Amino acid sequence: MTQPQSGVVAIYPGSFDPITSGHLDVIERGSRMFSRVIVAILQNEAKQPLFSVPERMEMLRESLGGFTGVEIDTFQGLLADYARAKGAGVILRGIRAISDYEYELQMALMNRRLHPGLETIFLPAAESFSFISSRMVKEVISLGGNISGLVPPLVEDRLKQRIASYKRHTST
């Protein structure tokens, strides 16, 4: 088992709307590499999230209960500024496909320009999670599909409740 880099703080930013099994995989792997991983929810209401920031924080807390060295936070504005404020030297990003890499590389280079010395580490998705995205999970469940194993069970339950609630409100 890999020992975490002593004193290295990594930030794993995202919307986590909702957290998926792919996210959990990256967090678990990152927690073995770094002494502290901050799972940071970007507050971006322009994305029209399904869950509020407090709801996403609660789902993350419940999903990450057994992890050590992992904390949950939120931020607004530039990731580079947030990383500087938190004393983080690493941005942790999961990569599913080459299309992810192109976008993430641009972000990594901009973050390094804004905060020299800030490194971005790309973790390729585990094969079993390489196709999962929060957007796809929400679409599949809203159309009645099975998302078991794609998200933690507690998240699946909350998604079912939220979708059912929306359907009740739109059918009246």
Residue 128 among the catalytic residues: no
Inter-residue contact 11 to 79 (CB < 8 Å)? yes
DSSP line for 102-113: HHHHHHHHHHHH
Place of tokens 């993430």: 104
Indicate which residue of 15, 23, 31, 36 is catalytic: 23
Q: Among this protein's residues, is 96 annotated catalytic? A: yes
Please identify which of the residues 15, 21, 63, 134 carries the catalytic annotation: 134
Query: What angle separates helix 79-86 from helix 98-114, to the nearest 10 degrees?
Result: 60
Inter-residue contact 23 to 67 (CB < 8 Å): no
Q: Which of 32, 47, 61, 113 does the annotation list as catalytic?
A: 47
| Residue 23 annotated to the active site | yes
Catalytic (active site) residue 134: yes
* Strand 5-14 versus strand 90-95 pairing type: parallel
- Out of 29, 84, 86, 96, which one is annotated catalytic? 96
**Catalytic residue numbers, as ranges:** 23, 47, 96, 134
